[in-house]
């Protein structure tokens, strides 16, 4: 298991944030992924000028967002339908809706402000979550809450350029369905994602190192 990220330095994080902003321009929202940032370090991110945080695990989201409601919280991890009720009180946006059962739970537990992104498995990887592009229209029609965009995780690679076709395809799908938000790109490929139209980039270690 990866080690927790401790000893965060607000000055260093702010410098990293400014560098990333210069790379990607003013458009995309920079989300700080805090899966490995412990509760006691979260406040440092605010000192560094970060406003939007994303958590992968429902139980950690509940603890961190409950203690730090001053941030804009998103859920970015794999969404288990049984966790929907636990998540919705704390988040402005869920990035990873990818099952009929999750839609069913959202129908029961969503709040008026709840927005979601549909996670699309653009590459068709069998071991990865996400709906198939051919099923996108059905999910949009079925969703009981506003779908404001799409999210994807391309196949793992050490070469950022190899992610470009998957980001480009997600942007095409969003345009076809009139969806504005594109959550794509992480620490290793955020610049490529931004160049293909990402409106949210999810960045972890690159911000903190």
* Tens of pLDDT, residue by residue, the chain (209 residues): 568 999 999 999 999 999 999 999 999 999 999 999 999 999 999 999 999 999 999 999 999 999 999 999 999 999 999 999 999 999 999 999 999 999 999 999 999 999 999 999 999 998 889 999 999 999 999 999 999 999 999 999 999 999 999 999 999 999 999 999 999 999 999 999 999 999 999 999 999 99
Q: Which residues of 48-67 are buried (b: 16+ CB within 10 A; e: fewer)?
A: bebebbbbbebebbbebbee
In terms of Cα–Cα distance, which of 36, 41, 81, 27 is closest to 54?
A: 36
Give the per-residue pLDDT at 1.
54
Paired tokens of 30: 């920079």
- Is-contact 22 43, C-beta < 8 A? no
Long-range contacts of 77-82, Cβ-Cβ distance < 8 Å, separation of 24 or more: 77/35, 78/129, 79/119, 81/105
Class of domain 10-208: alpha beta
Phi, psi of 74 (to 5 degrees): -125, 155
Per-residue confidence (pLDDT) for residue 3, from 0 to 100: 84
pLDDT for 127 equals 86
* Strand 181-183 relative to strand 147-151, pairing: parallel
């Amino acid at each position: 298991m990866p080690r927790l990220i401790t000893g965060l330095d607000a000055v260093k994080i702010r410098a990293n944030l400014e560098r990333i902003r210069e790379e990607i321009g003013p458009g995309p929202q920079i989300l700080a992924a805090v899966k490995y940032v412990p509760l006691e370090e979260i406040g440092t991110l605010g000192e560094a000028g970060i406003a939007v945080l994303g958590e992968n695990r429902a139980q950690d989201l509940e603890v961190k967002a409950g203690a730090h409601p001053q941030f804009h919280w998103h859920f970015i991890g794999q969404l288990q339908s049984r966790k929907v009720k636990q998540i919705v009180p704390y988040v402005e946006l869920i990035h990873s809706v990818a099952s009929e059962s999750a839609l069913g739970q959202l129908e029961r537990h969503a709040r008026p402000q709840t927005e979601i992104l549909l996670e699309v498995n653009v590459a068709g990887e069998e071991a990865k979550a996400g709906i198939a592009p051919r099923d996108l229209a059905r999910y949009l029609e079925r969703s009981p809450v506003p779908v404001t965009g799409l999210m994807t995780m391309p196949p793992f690679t050490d070469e950022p350029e190899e992610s470009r076709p998957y980001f480009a395809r997600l942007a095409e799908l969003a345009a076809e369905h009139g969806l504005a938000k594109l959550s794509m790109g992480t620490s290793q490929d955020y610049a490529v994602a931004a160049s293909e139209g990402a409106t949210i980039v999810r960045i972890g270690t690159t911000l903190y190192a």
